[in-house]
Chain A
């Protein structure tokens, strides 16, 4: 057991945990945030994807102690420019029918957020590669890929318009 601190979505969470506690359990059980989903607990499905220092990781095969003192972003940490507004990728998933049952959605959103941060206008193949570690059984990935692409296009259009 040891006490560790992890910054999740801008707030610090301190807890006494055993070394083998996963980051997923830390987020869901210690920090009490249920947006990050447990689909397989073995690093295969991607439902639990969160950002660790901005990079997507499977929280179920990442130990909480690997995130000690680091910044973690979960789906609850995605927000738009104004208070109460959705993050533009969340909005795109809604507008372009990228959501069905929603269990893969938080993981997909986190991967998309990291991708668009790195590559503001990804090609379809880039998007498919980025989400190839995230399983979805409802959408055939069609509208998820489309939503991510449209999120990128709309964002660029908007930023262009602002200049």
Chain B
């Protein structure tokens, strides 16, 4: 039972009825008067020069209004990242280019009265390319004779090296009894939000622009577009509609600059919705990495030193590559006196990398947690005991960071998760451990620990909130932070309702319309509950303070005679105590003498970014003959502080686990090295977990409390994905005796015939029958 009225109690979400009935309007569901469509011609080559473009036939396609070529658009380069301004955000991206640097790079754009006319015009654009030598491998990209992607930026493909250190790494290795060293590799993966990126830009009124777009960062989008279009920010309005997932996908601008230029050129609102192929080839992927991990351990199991050198493949443009790399350096959840991190962010002609759930952390966690398994084995220690022996606790710091932790409930995570694991084992033993097992399968468990962050770990997170109390005492909560499907609007409304002593149904949230809501850095770094939640809590306090002030003026009493506790005002007047609900007080203030509106506001700069913690167990069954792997169970125990909405926290973990399953087992953006073409260009050639791929998922919520969080809360969103891959591969290693250093495991473990079932889409009885007809 929660000690609060609203916080700590689950609610399915403020907008679920709209979604369930199909009334939620996502970007592609909007139509503006006079609206036309835009499409983008993309490079079929990973590296080329555009020699010429013949537009004559495309122009004659009926319905075509405008064709934009690389030399028609401002030559100004920008950075598509939705992070707040930083010198690390190198501006290397052109709006359209005659020197494509990756397959999917934007060459030309067309606006037409129908999607069909756009498609036809794109087919009729005759582009003459000269193919250039591409480079896809980070190590090759750093060689002297590698093709240079951005000569305008520097003499090498190294974007930046980000470093972090603690103690003295050499001392650490000298103090160690054992040294472990290994190279780990992780793949580029795609967010695969179900809704493709899209936008509608309306610049038809000169000097103004309105944008409806899939954006996690409306205020950064406003800043970048205002700059590109030469407008001041008051004349650019970004509206965030319903959004079909994000996971980092919309932390970069996608087609907005092109749509804005097409709209300005045609004087019509222009809608561009990505095809799935564009999603796969031209929206961001998770940085693939090569990680050299070296660990020094004393024989009693204390980690003395950890040295990481990592190469992050950022693809053709920097986006926020260096910030992703740096974020990875601040997520090690062990007390390590001697720590050194060097992360190289490297250009290649591969897909552009950017934000994907976990932001630089899943890669390092995979390497670190895999290595800790080797350590446990060598030392003959239990893998959990080894980790707990080294784990940070409240008051400690994460290596490479300077703020002491105010909370860490990892012990509670282990306790709850182990209890659950034993229950699963016992149930299994009743069936002699053979339940669901076919010969010659072998079962095993693996474990991995991790931490993440609540808000940007560079402490740049900022959120603001306005609480408007309507004259009937109901509340409009205005937030600049975008709900992208994870339910942040609901969580923020719960925090407001709790503080104001009203019901959740009395609050409406407007989240992210730059014309009406206050600035927020954006929906990333798992910020919403913690950074946004603190902003809401502060705005609520501001409202109460203002209402007490007004009540004191009306009653001619000192403000100190009025308090707000347990959801009501208490006035100690000459006639004794009087209690007022928010409703009663509002009536008196709004309609009483003097009359005034009631609005509280706040800004919260996240000076802390408290890490949430997770412990993940995976149980697998490995066929010892074919080495095919089946996932049986995944348990994830999370310390998210005090969960504001426990069921939604669990739901976040479910989804996080499935992305981790994909990362470990099957997902990888593959590029054919010979032709330079990206093979994973649709959802047939890029597999994400389907219902039948998922094991049983079990979630435990630790008993946690974060003193700096709103009602004790930390974050959950990204955390849930981070430890899963290593837990799975550690389980496989346990079963097979082979350490796994590369994910997805499909390659390393693929026998002659693929162990994976054919994509289940074709197995759906309903669809099969239809296929016969098509």
Contact = CB atoms under 8 A, between A and B. Distances in A.
Binding between chains A and B = yes
A109 to B, nearest CB: 7
Nearest to B28: A38
B484 A137 contact: no
Nearest to A62: B770
A33 B22 contact: yes
Contacts of B195: 37, 39, 101, 103
B360 interface: no
B690 A101 contact: no
B52 to A, nearest CB: 31
Nearest to B769: A55
How big is the B interface, by class? 35 or more
Contact of B694 (A41, A91, A94, A142): A142
Contacts of B349: none
B490 to A, nearest CB: 11
A66 B773 contact: yes
Interface in B60-98: none
Contacts, number: 216
B129 interface: no
Contact of B17 (A40, A55, A86, A109): A86
B636 to A, nearest CB: 10
A26 B608 CA distance: 51
Given A56-B766, A100-B485, A41 B276 contact: yes
Contacts of A44: 276, 682-684, 759, 761
B194 A136 contact: yes
A70 to B, nearest CB: 12
B587 interface: no
A150 interface: no
A57 B193 contact: no
Contact of B19 (A102, A137, A144): A102
A145 B21 contact: no
Contacts of B577: none
B522 to A, nearest CB: 17
A66 B769 CA distance: 13
Interface in A129-151: 129-145
B244 A141 contact: no
Contacts of A35: 21-23
Contacts of A136: 194
B243 interface: yes
Interface residues of A, number: 66
A13 interface: no
A34 B657 CA distance: 31
A140 B485 contact: no
A38 B306 CA distance: 47
A103 B241 CA distance: 13
B147 to A, nearest CB: 33
B12 A94 contact: yes
Contact of B247 (A55, A130, A137): A137
B485 A101 contact: yes
Contacts of A131: 691
Interface string B593-613: 000000000000000000000
Contacts of A97: 10, 12, 647-648, 650-651
Contacts of A138: 194, 245, 485-486, 651, 655
A123 to B, nearest CB: 13
A109 B20 contact: yes
Contacts of A104: 194
Nearest to B774: A61
Nearest to A107: B194
B403 interface: no
B760 A133 contact: yes
B766 A101 contact: no
B245 A101 contact: yes
Contacts of A74: 22
Contact of A132 (B23, B690, B697): B690
B684 A135 contact: no
Given A35-B21, A90-B20, A103-B245, A137 B12 contact: no
Nearest to A103: B244
Given A58-B767, A62-B770, A139 B19 contact: no
A63 B26 CA distance: 24
Nearest to A102: B19
Nearest to B653: A140
B242 interface: yes
B374 to A, nearest CB: 29
B243 A101 contact: yes
A101 B244 contact: yes
A33 B19 CA distance: 14
Contacts of A61: 770, 774
B683 A37 contact: no
A103 B22 contact: no
B132 interface: no
Given A102-B20, A102-B24, A137-B192, 7 more contacts: A37-B26, A38-B28, A75-B21, A76-B22, A128-B691, A128-B692, A142-B651
14 contacts: A33-B22, A34-B22, A35-B22, A35-B23, A37-B195, A40-B276, A46-B761, A66-B773, A90-B21, A97-B651, A100-B486, A132-B763, A133-B762, A141-B690
Smallest CB-CB A-B distances: 8 pairs: A35-B22, A101-B485, A103-B244, A133-B764, A102-B19, A140-B658, A132-B760, A44-B683
